[in-house]
Structure 1
Amino acid sequence: MCVIAFHWRPEGPLPLLVAGNRDEFYARPTAPMAWWEGRRILAGRDLQAGGTWLGVGPGGRFAALTNHRDPSKTRPDRATRGLLPVWFLEVGHTAGAFLEELRPVAGRYNPFNLLVYDGRDLLGFESRQDRVVSFTPGIHAISNGDFDEPWPKVERLKAGLLDGEGDDEALLTLLQEAEPFPDERLPSTGVALEWERALSPAFIRTPTYGTRASTLLRLGREAVSVLEQRFSPEGPEGRSEFRFQRT
């Protein structure tokens, strides 16, 4: 994922609502969200390096990943970050225990942010700072910086999530906002200004790179619903919906 907004209500009937976009090169092969054969994981799949960017596992476990944008700290020989959500979804550890196990080996991966939910606790992890993040009830978001860092699209999604959280189509429209923000509001992440502009909205469109999927997840106490809307360079490509009981 490259931007994720989420409403955390640990005591409510819907503890976690997630809305996010995955941005990637169009040429990178990807499998749509589906149940993985022989494994209790519902997720999309990166067919080039393996792994996923967002998925749901047994008991309502959930994990999502964003990359941290800093070209100076990225090396091509490191392990693929997409295996981290799979690792969490398949183990029985609590969110806290999993992050304690991950922290000593996080340097094997290029910088990342990881959001994990074990069915009770929701935690974030910023690898470059070795920082575990706990969340107060309410709306939070993450892009390619820190959790709740006030990038323009992060702030826009947080506001829009509150207004449209009961309406899937309204949330998808929010995730498809593609107008770049003014230069004076852009973060400085080590890429050229042209790329900062192109990457500034929630929905990204360039000739070779852009938003490949929008995902809505409602993780209730008893049931889970997931909607994935996929995109090609030409526009909407397909949609998948899943509803199932937490077990």
Structure 2
Amino acid sequence: MASNRDEFFSRPSLPGHFWAGQCNLLGGLDQEQGGTWLAICRQGKIAAVTNYRDPSQAEGKLSRGHLVRDFVASNQSARSYLASLTPSQYSGYNLLLGDAQQLFYSSNRGPILEPLSAGIYGLSNHLLNTPWPKLRHGKADFERAIHQANFNVERLFDVMLDDEPAADSDLPNTGIGLPAERFLSSRFIAGGDAALQQNPELANHSNQHRLLNYGTRTTTIVLMDNNGGGRWFERNHTLNSINRTKTVAFSW
């Protein structure tokens, strides 16, 4: 799994670590709500969440990061965990959860439970495999990276650190306006001055300040074997700076 976490830089967070008191859970920590965006446990369970972009919908009462935290920290199977949820309590989400043997996809804007067969999938801020440009090209780059001889994790970092925006003609219309669609169209979202240089129209956007303080904060690569063991590689980014070298790694 190769993943980027896009979030406001002002939102307090901790990078990936084994949580105190829950030493089997490895993931970053959203210090604002106490959840996480991606986590695994030593027993092989894994979960990840993305927002579903729909500005017309009201905010949910519960944090989406709890979906990941609570599943990975529980003894429940993916099926029983999903059956226990009340999806309407959350803002729009996409959820991946399972283990090394079986992965499921769930969304409160789409399928409640979809077992995933072997293959390559992409997930952004719409339903699974929605062919947004960064997803379409990202899946192709990901497939090339994992099938090259002498596989190297650096190739997956290269896939996820691509900051090339999509052509305007390829952009989706999710109700946020063209400059914002353009800003969010690359796999790696650079906020701040870099975003303004790439997309000068942001200077006149009604949400200019918020957008320029938003971007990709964490890139994570997770490798798992059939027995639930594996490795976690993470790079954390700051506003106006892509981290291309400093990697934190864990194994279990």
Alignment TM-score > 0.5, same fold: yes
CA drift of 1:236 comes to 4.1
Unaligned runs of 5+ residues in structure 1 are 1-17
Please say if 1:153 is aligned against 2:153: no
- Alignment map for 1:1-247 (pairs within 5 Å): 18-39=1-22, 40-75=24-59, 78-102=61-85, 105-165=86-146, 166-207=151-192, 208-222=213-227, 223-236=229-242, 238-244=246-252
Contact map agreement 1:229 1:236 (CA 8 A) in 2: no
Contact map agreement 1:74 1:111 (CA 8 A) in 2: no
Contact map agreement 1:59 1:119 (CA 8 A) in 2: no
Unaligned runs of 5+ residues in structure 2 are 193-212
Contact map agreement 1:214 1:229 (CA 8 A) in 2: yes
Looking at structure 2, the residues matched to 126 and 155 of structure 1 have their Cα atoms a distance apart, in angstroms, of 20
State the SS of the aligned residue for 1:170.
Answer: helix
Looking at structure 2, the residues matched to 134 and 183 of structure 1 have their Cα atoms a distance apart, in angstroms, of 34
Code of the residue aligned with 2:235 in structure 1: it is Q
The structure having more radius of gyration, on CA atoms, is: 2
Considering fraction of residues, name the structure with more strand: 1
Looking at structure 1, the residues matched to 111 and 145 of structure 2 have their Cα atoms a distance apart, in angstroms, of 34
Contact map agreement 2:231 2:249 (CA 8 A) in 1: yes
CA drift of 1:79 comes to 1.1
- Aligned CA RMSD, in angstroms, stands at 1.4
Looking at structure 1, the residues matched to 101 and 38 of structure 2 have their Cα atoms a distance apart, in angstroms, of 18
TM-score, scaled relative to structure 1: 0.87
Code of the residue aligned with 2:76 in structure 1: it is H
CA drift of 1:130 comes to 4.8
Count of matched residue positions in the alignment of Structure 1 and Structure 2: 224
Quote the residue 2:207 is aligned against.
none
Looking at structure 2, the residues matched to 41 and 56 of structure 1 have their Cα atoms a distance apart, in angstroms, of 6
Code of the residue aligned with 1:241 in structure 2: it is A
CA drift of 1:50 comes to 1.2
State the SS of the aligned residue for 1:173.
Answer: helix
Looking at structure 2, the residues matched to 79 and 203 of structure 1 have their Cα atoms a distance apart, in angstroms, of 27
Contact map agreement 1:143 1:154 (CA 8 A) in 2: yes
Looking at structure 1, the residues matched to 240 and 48 of structure 2 have their Cα atoms a distance apart, in angstroms, of 26
Q: Deviations over 1:135-165 (max 9, x none)?
A: 2211011100000111111111111111112
Code of the residue aligned with 2:249 in structure 1: it is E
Q: Percent identity?
A: 33
TM-score, scaled relative to structure 2: 0.85
Greater RCO (CA < 8 Å, at least 6 residues apart): 1
